[in-house]
Chain A
Amino acid sequence: MEALMNWLEAQLADNSIFTLQTLGYYGEGLVTTVQLVFLSLIIGLVLAVPLAIGRGSRHAWLRLPIFFYCYVFRGTPLLVQLYLIYYGVVFVEGIQDTWLWLILEKPFVPALIAFTLNTAAYTTEIFRGAIKSTPRGEIEAARAYGMSWGLMMRRIVLPSAFRRALPAYGNEVIFMLHASAIASVVTIMDLTGAARFVYARFYAPFDAFLFVAAIYLCLTFAIIYFFRHLEKRLLAHLKPASG
């Protein structure tokens, strides 16, 4: 490890911008960005499945609030949502004295909440569309077998809906990664935050931002590869039969 550090230091010897210190900032930024995006996507996904089912419900008391939630979070910029959650909670009287402040004081959790609510709204709409486009014949066949609603959802509707939603959801994951770049406005040192710091410190916009753009490209590549792999496995039945 020490030999590696020495080698790296030698490589960076005549580089005034990319020192071990700034690379450290980029490294921490990478960890923060991945944590933030990964956690918000996982929680958002878990929230989105019941919401998507409820969104297609016959009952207006269930359908309308979910519709309203999706409408609000898809209809306003994520940056505004982030500002409202990070700076807005402060104006709740006396919040500093409650346990809530312990988690809302640092910018990470407010950002995580904003990102999660945002991605959950989009994912809900993606899944709703996929659920809605379940072929009628499959549903009728399930009913003819005497399946209950729950069993039908679990065995027939959701599995095929997930497969149909996969390409659109892959897009949402990439969008979320890129949307996370705004986290630095609430002082989070994510990848973009690190780039902005290096830019401001060395007045070197090209170096700072090209470097971070390359990191985002690598992350995006990993996401694309992951989803292509998933699609190959899960959507194998849709491939044209080969002779």
Chain B
Amino acid sequence: MKFQKILSIGVLGTAMIAGGANAEVRDIRIGVDVPYEPMEYRTPDGELTGFDIELGNALCAEIGIQCEWVVQGWDGIIPGLQARKYDAIMSSMTINEQRREQVLFSDPYITPPSAWFAPMDAEIGTPSDETLEGLTIGVQRGTLQDNYVTDMYGDVAEVNRYATADDMVLDMDSGRLDAVFLDFPIGKSTLLESEAGEYKVVGEKITEPVEYFGEGFGIAFRQRDQELAAAFNEALATLKENGTYDEIYAEYFGD
């Protein structure tokens, strides 16, 4: 305890000295836990890629700094930031209050979308109480998608809850389900890609309301690195404006 206190004072002191010397934002290292497709994973030849990696690199380029990626297991990813093994975390980290006490978050850069999937020949309009009435909808038990569908459409539609996404896809194939509500990337790989031509996305991708889908993913910094966070927020706003963000988004979350 005492040792920790001494250490933290020491770290604080060093940081104050360093902060004084560097008004400009310096080159940084970013911690990431792989794999978590499609956000961060390795290509067959071992290169890091994914939505986080590409967006992170684009942000660094926009700020005009060099960024180096450091792979770190999820358990130690916040301690690693505090211990200065890297200066930021960009690893599909959901913004929440507990984490806010530990780290400083950037603005949310993405809320992972969920989407409705239905057989190609199904005639379901934009999902609503009327269009889903009497249909059988599949969800994975206990997921945020389950909570959302149960609360929004539990009264008008029949909700079938599955232990795994595989069981659900099987029942979708057999015709027992009229639609499923899934994490978009999972649905994309299991329904749109591996059974090409059989299924389609119905309606818009869904990322709201916050009480179900969360505040989204943020880049985490140490509490005192406010300038760094501000620089990333600014760059993020620019990329969203000039279309770079949409390009990267479409690459990983496009239909």
Tell whether A228 is near chain B: CB-to-CB under 8 Å. no
What range describes how many residues of B lie at the interface?
A: 10 to 19
A7 contacts the other chain (CB 8 A): no
The yes or no answer to B170 lying at the interface (CB within 8 A) is: yes
* Distance A189 CA – B171 CA, assembled complex (angstroms): 16
Q: How far is the CA of A193 from the CA of B173 in the complex (A)?
A: 23
B141 touching A90, Cβ below 8 Å: no
Q: Are A200 and B163 in contact (CB under 8 A)?
A: no
A193→B163 CA distance, assembly (Å): 11
Q: Indicate whether A163 reaches chain B with its CB closer than 8 angstroms.
A: no
Contact with B along A57-98 (1 / 0, CB 8 A): 000000000000000000000000000000100100000100
Question: Is B142 a contact of A105 with CB atoms below 8 Å?
Answer: no
Residues on A lying within 8 angstroms of B by beta carbon are 87, 90, 96, 101, 105-107, 185, 187, 189, 193, 196-197, 199-201
B141→A197 contact, CB < 8 A = yes
Structural contact, A200 and B174, CB atoms closer than 8 A: no
Do the beta carbons of B176 and A105 come within 8 Å of each other?
yes
Bound Cα distance A36, B77 (Å): 49
Shortest distance from the beta carbon of B106 to any chain A beta carbon, whole Å: 28
With both chains docked as a complex, state the minimum distance between the C-beta of B189 and any C-beta of chain A, in angstroms: 21
A187 to B161, Cβ gap below 8 A?
A: yes
> A-contacting residues of B (Cβ < 8 Å)?
141-142, 146-147, 150, 160-163, 167, 170-171, 173-176
> Chain A: which residue is nearest B170 at the CB level?
A87
The answer for the CA separation of A115 and B92 in the assembled complex, in Å, is: 44
Cα separation A185 to B171 with both chains bound (whole Å) = 12
Q: Is the Cβ of B162 less than 8 Å from the Cβ of A90?
A: no
- Chain A contacts for B163, CB-based, 8 A: 185
Q: How far is the CA of A199 from the CA of B147 in the complex (A)?
A: 12
B161 engages A90 (CB within 8 Å): no
Kindly list the 9 A-B residue pairs having the minimum CB-CB distance in the complex, ordered from nearest.
Answer: A200-B142, A90-B174, A187-B160, A96-B175, A200-B141, A105-B176, A87-B170, A187-B161, A187-B162
CA distance in complex: A196, B141 (Å): 8
